[in-house]
Structure 1
Amino acid sequence: MRFLSSLLASILGTLIAIGLVFLFLFLFLMGLATAVEQPPAIRSGSVLVIRLSGPIPEVVSPDPLSRLLLEEPPYGLHDLTHALKKAAADRRIEAVWLRLQNPQLSWASLEEVRTALVDFRASGKLLIASCEDFGMDEATYFLASAADSVFAGPESFFEFNGFYLTAEFYKRLLDKLEVEAQVVRAGAFKSAGEPFVREHLSEENRLQLQALLDAYNRRFLETVAEARGLSVEDVNRLATEQLLLSAEEAVQAGLLDGLRDAGQIERMLKTHLGYGPDEKLRRVSLRQYARVPDREAGLPTGNEGEIAVVYAVGTIVPGKSQQEPVPVPFLGGRMLGSETLIAALEEARQSERVKAVVLRINSPGGSAAASEAMWQAIRRTAEEKPVIVSMGDVAASGGYWISTAADTIVADPLTITGSIGVIGMLLNAGGLFENKIGITYDLLRTSPYADMFSGLVPPEPYEVERLQQTIMATYRTFLQKVSQARGLPVDSVDAIGGGRVWIGETAHRIGLVDVLGGLDRAIAIAAEKAGLAPGTYRIRVLPRPRMFAERLAEQLEARAVQTWRNLTASPATRMLEAYRPALDRLRLLHGTPLARMWPEVSVR
């Protein structure tokens, strides 16, 4: 008995000791992260150094531990553009050095960042862009061309050869998995189902995607020509005839101002800013500068109210949002859950501090039912407060559906939008279960069509016909919403709908968008409609980004569940678990109306 008591006491003491160690470690990391996140001291004559590398998300967590331990990006897209706005007003910042290291941004985000760079340059301060030894492609150069001077490292690569678009098809993958897909659609251009039943683009899809690609190319040529003092024809000739592939060739063509490494650029900045020969360049990173308060930088601030920026990012699904991307082809990425967005909108609607709402949409759409639930919540909010939509890289299909509930739609000129159409899909995964996993089923029915949505048998012709009728009814609802919101006849909406995607500037011209601009433009419109003067309000980000402790708890719980399954599951069950992510996502597509655009448009 004494032995058991001693053993229990020993175990308890060990657990307490381990808990205390973790507690002290947590407190230490919290203190370290807080110290790192303190606003920096900015001295006169400083240079804001902006290193753009990899993806830049729409929004990031303000939690310092997330940034320290989870390698989360230190700033989001709006943090970047707002930092440039602060730097333009901050007398202590005399120049910006844009160091480009293969940033990965879609074209609407590139346009938004470039607009912020142009606005900074209009303040009269120096803007330098360089890529050093990382090289440049068209997307990188699109940003760099906003600068007073653009430099590349000696012998660096410079890709200037036009654009191409890739579209993925999954029919052969489904064939290997022995999954059959039957797709119905409303709209000749509604191509979201093509990857599952085709191996190449349809003529309608080829037409609309080529128009999209041509629009990007035209915008790029016009922008570069204006920035470098060249004609559009000359810039186009460089891309189509000369095939520039080195920085030295770009200098000779007038696209670059010289070949310089980082040390040479630093000496140039010191000379321009009047530094002494022995003085070090006073740098401040974007990560540091993002923490500088607006008032300290010279921007007016106030506390008369708040504008809620509600982020709607990802594929629209019922339920809660899933922030971590799902690594499944054609179905991966972030999930925008209707419950999560509705809760965020309700918080904004019920808060007395929030005077207006900006709904920032970056979504290709998804479930039509979930889109409608979101639409209803946006409409309830718009009945009490101004609601302005800001379209990011893509706000199409279901992403456009929910936009129609707002008072005003603001889109970037390069936003992908429209895709007013609906698809439906019936899947037969019987072969996958029987031949790949080893699970067979025997079905009993009370009526001939009871197993229509089982996903285990091929659909009958009448079942496909009935699904088509449902899809057309959903499409008519979509048309009515757009018609009422945009003040257009239903026939006119159908003519520009039909599932066709449009670029933002074209959508503005045909009446689908009210204003061209980025998130800052939408916030300014929201403030004006709410009667808030510039500099008198604050921004509230919704849904609230998750903190480190919340994300850690979720990951630990998921890891524990997965470990237990691996220990206790049979080989057949483990094989089924391997297919579960794909099966879960396929279930979202099966037998339900989808307001979803093409899974991904990749322009390079």
Structure 2
Amino acid sequence: MRFLSTLAASVLGTLIAVGALLLFVFFFIFAISLSADTTPQVQRSTILTLDIQGPIPERVSKDPFTRAIADQPKYDVSDVLSALSKAEKDDRISGLWIRLKGTQASWATLEQIRNAITAFRDSGKPVIASSGDFGMIEKDYFLASAADSIYAGPVTAFEFNGFYLPQTFFKGTLDKLGIEPKVVRAGQYKSAIETFTRNDLSEENEEQLQAIIDTQYDVFLNAIADSRSIDEQRLRDIASTDAPMDVRPAKDLGMIDDVRYTDEVVDVLRGIVGVSPSDDVRMMGIDDYARVPSSDVGLETTGDGRVAVIYGTGQIVPGDDDGGAFGSSGMMASDPIIEAFENARENESIKAIVFRVDSPGGSAAASEAIWRAVKRTKEVKPVIVSMGNLAASGGYYVAAPADTIVASPSTITGSIGVFGLLFNVEGLLTDKLGVGLDNVSTSDLADMYSPFSDFSEQERTLLASSIDRTYQTFLQRVAEGRKMSVEAVDSVAQGRVWTGRDAQEAGLVDVLGGLSEAVRIAGEKGGLGEGPYAVQTLPRQKTFFEKLNEDLSSQAARVYFDQTASDLERQMQAKRDRIRYYLSQSGTVQAVLPYEIDIQ
């Protein structure tokens, strides 16, 4: 029997070894093939294609293994911006074809891309937008309206019926489960906890959310009115009373130019490049063109030095969290951000830093640690903050020390406030499950953070004092960075959420613009001339193999879910992850955006 077990173990070990060897050989051959990848060659009369589908992240991995294996978008925001900027000057690029396939990008991201498309069109090169058989929602149309001509496929949907901002509340669910939230907050508008304590919007919360959606609607309508030469009030009336539900009424209203199949749109492109109906149109995707060196189109960098762009995206958490081999964790971990600022501060070739913040906030302690790194760096070199879709609560905390804060009009920012959240599950355990609870302790305050009892008055007072001290520190950090009095900051704080446009009026933002504008300001402040500038991105992204060695199994499960889950399942998982985050942070002070803001 022992002989058979030994034999089986030997055979199994041999099979594992052979499998590992084959896997290594496969990856080795794959690595050689990827390393042989050359710079794309652009031929004359090429049409640049921009496929807009799904999310457009702030940053995708440049590691060829990760890009080839992981389920990631082909390009990020900076890829699009740099490609369109180069294409303006490239005589080989004859035009731009925007192929809309259902975008899930944030409004602030779309605003940056739309501005880049407008700049490309203003250079004199034609821009065509089409939706094929995908139809158009408002986000698609927002981008398409920047084109010279808009085409949509026959028998497709067209959505233009105004915006709404849904919110989800779990008080009823918690009541049924016998779970009671234990909450202390600082800030009249700091409504992060309302999702657990109410079944509807409070008056303050409704006020700020209505202001956000109204601002975004204004930006949306102003852009379309200007590009399509349709009166803004007329657009409001269309959305309220005559909302077109398919492309035919949209064409009759002058919102699109024609209803055409994709092959008919290609015929339009043939006319642009001047080829016969039997010839193919040369095309190059934005992801390939982004790899074309700027020097190929005569865009030589100016100045003796570089601008570092430090990306801080996702929920702010302490420590290190890179998300594993197959993607990003979606967290702004404090350790790599602090290290990136240290590297940029000590690197003599880096003359200025852009801190790209796209975060709803998170841990107050981690936010303070990152704030310190930003402040120390600012004392040595210019630091410009570029706000993405979100730079709220802790996301604003880490931005406050910067020399200049740049935000898109659609950016969600502010939310200067803090809260503490715990859950009392005593009712669930005792009333619903019949579990008995008891304990011994050395003091009356020892079980203050216990999930098995409510706060006493003394405990609530102590936690409220701690929350208020953190809030006052938050106010002081902002006051110091913005050169305002604490009282002035408090008047626009209180946890209130602002759009970038309104935040500028409130004194929380300096300049309206995107990442390109922030890099321009950083280059000028760093003494690098008029630009373009050499840019170095930080923190350094780990390679596929570095991540693979860390947590293969959990990432395999994530990839499987991403590939097989429906949209509804992904939405439910996102809500589950958010609740799980709150549960994991029970007893800690949080500076985090109150809710998901997804204007639809």
Same fold (TM over 0.5): yes
CA gap of 1:433–1:319, structure 2 versus 1, over 3 A, is: farther
> Are positions 1:505 and 2:501 aligned together?
yes
**Match for residue 567 of structure 1?**
none
CA gap of 1:115–1:588, structure 2 versus 1, over 3 A, is: same
SS in 1 for 2:245: strand
**Match for residue 139 of structure 1?**
139
* 1:82-122 superposed Cα distances (whole Å, 9 cap, x missing partner): 11111111110010000010011111111111011111111
How far did 1:6 drift?
9.3
> Are positions 1:382 and 2:378 aligned together?
yes
* 1:525-553 superposed Cα distances (whole Å, 9 cap, x missing partner): 11111111244642221122232113322
**Match for residue 187 of structure 2?**
187
SS in 1 for 2:162: coil
**Match for residue 237 of structure 2?**
237
> Are positions 1:22 and 2:23 aligned together?
yes
**Match for residue 410 of structure 1?**
406
How far did 1:497 drift?
1.1
- The correspondence for 2:541, drawn from 545, 549, 556, is 545
How far did 1:12 drift?
6.8
**Match for residue 121 of structure 1?**
121
- Report the RMSD for the aligned CA atoms in angstroms: 2.8
Preserved CA contact (<8 Å) 2:303 2:529? no
**Match for residue 94 of structure 1?**
94
- The correspondence for 2:439, drawn from 431, 438, 443, is 443
Preserved CA contact (<8 Å) 1:60 1:545? no
**Match for residue 290 of structure 2?**
290
* 1:212-256 superposed Cα distances (whole Å, 9 cap, x missing partner): 111111111111111111111111111111111111111111110
Preserved CA contact (<8 Å) 1:55 1:104? yes
Distance in 2 (CA, whole Å) between partners of 1:491 and 1:39 is 55
Distance in 2 (CA, whole Å) between partners of 1:435 and 1:472 is 34
Preserved CA contact (<8 Å) 1:86 1:298? no
How far did 1:369 drift?
1.5
Distance in 2 (CA, whole Å) between partners of 1:27 and 1:41 is 26
**Match for residue 562 of structure 2?**
none
Question: Under a length normalisation based on structure 2, what TM-score does the superposition of the two structures give?
Answer: 0.91
Distance in 2 (CA, whole Å) between partners of 1:318 and 1:20 is 38
> Are positions 1:485 and 2:481 aligned together?
yes
**Match for residue 564 of structure 2?**
none
**Match for residue 452 of structure 2?**
456
Distance in 1 (CA, whole Å) between partners of 2:336 and 2:481 is 24
The one-letter amino acid of 1:368's match is A
Preserved CA contact (<8 Å) 1:397 1:595? yes
How far did 1:510 drift?
1.9
Distance in 1 (CA, whole Å) between partners of 2:18 and 2:415 is 59
SS in 1 for 2:440: coil
Distance in 2 (CA, whole Å) between partners of 1:359 and 1:320 is 18
> Where do 1:314-325 residues align within 5 Å?
314-323=314-323
How far did 1:144 drift?
0.5
Distance in 2 (CA, whole Å) between partners of 1:203 and 1:466 is 28
How far did 1:73 drift?
1.5
**Match for residue 572 of structure 2?**
none
**Match for residue 335 of structure 1?**
331
**Match for residue 281 of structure 1?**
281
**Match for residue 304 of structure 2?**
304
> Where do 1:225-264 residues align within 5 Å?
225-264=225-264
**Match for residue 520 of structure 1?**
516
> Where do 1:391-410 residues align within 5 Å?
391-410=387-406
CA gap of 1:389–1:466, structure 2 versus 1, over 3 A, is: same
Preserved CA contact (<8 Å) 1:304 1:537? no
Distance in 2 (CA, whole Å) between partners of 1:93 and 1:475 is 53
**Match for residue 223 of structure 2?**
223
The one-letter amino acid of 1:491's match is E
* 1:197-218 superposed Cα distances (whole Å, 9 cap, x missing partner): 1111001100110111111111
SS in 2 for 1:160: coil
- The correspondence for 1:358, drawn from 331, 354, 357, is 354
How far did 1:272 drift?
2.3
The one-letter amino acid of 2:44's match is S
* 1:476-501 superposed Cα distances (whole Å, 9 cap, x missing partner): 22122222222222222111111111
**Match for residue 568 of structure 2?**
none
How far did 1:379 drift?
0.7
How far did 1:435 drift?
7.5
How far did 1:588 drift?
4.2
* 1:314-369 superposed Cα distances (whole Å, 9 cap, x missing partner): 111222235479xxxxxx98222222211221122222222211110011111212
Distance in 1 (CA, whole Å) between partners of 2:88 and 2:273 is 16
Preserved CA contact (<8 Å) 2:344 2:353? yes
The one-letter amino acid of 1:95's match is G
The one-letter amino acid of 1:24's match is V
SS in 2 for 1:60: coil
CA gap of 1:267–1:221, structure 2 versus 1, over 3 A, is: same
SS in 2 for 1:336: strand
Preserved CA contact (<8 Å) 2:306 2:533? yes
* 1:553-583 superposed Cα distances (whole Å, 9 cap, x missing partner): 2332548999xxxxxxxxxxxxxxxxx9788
Name which of structure 1's ranges 580-589 and 485-494 shifts more when overlaid on structure 2. 580-589
Name which of structure 1's ranges 473-482 and 221-230 shifts more when overlaid on structure 2. 473-482
Preserved CA contact (<8 Å) 2:401 2:480? no
SS in 2 for 1:423: strand
CA gap of 1:83–1:214, structure 2 versus 1, over 3 A, is: same
Preserved CA contact (<8 Å) 1:304 1:536? no
Preserved CA contact (<8 Å) 1:392 1:412? yes
**Match for residue 31 of structure 1?**
32
- The correspondence for 1:593, drawn from 567, 585, 589, is 589
How far did 1:305 drift?
2.0
**Match for residue 491 of structure 2?**
495
Equivalent residues, number? 581
Preserved CA contact (<8 Å) 1:111 1:414? yes
Distance in 1 (CA, whole Å) between partners of 2:459 and 2:582 is 19
**Match for residue 569 of structure 1?**
none
How far did 1:9 drift?
8.1
**Match for residue 158 of structure 1?**
158
CA gap of 1:10–1:370, structure 2 versus 1, over 3 A, is: closer
- The correspondence for 2:470, drawn from 457, 469, 474, is 474
Unmatched segments (≥5 aa) in structure 1: 326-331, 563-579
CA gap of 1:115–1:452, structure 2 versus 1, over 3 A, is: same
**Match for residue 73 of structure 1?**
73
SS in 1 for 2:146: coil
How far did 1:310 drift?
0.9
Name which of structure 1's ranges 474-483 and 53-62 shifts more when overlaid on structure 2. 474-483
How far did 1:264 drift?
0.5
* 1:413-455 superposed Cα distances (whole Å, 9 cap, x missing partner): 1101111111122321345566788976542111111100122
Unmatched segments (≥5 aa) in structure 2: 559-575
Preserved CA contact (<8 Å) 1:360 1:519? yes
SS in 2 for 1:165: coil
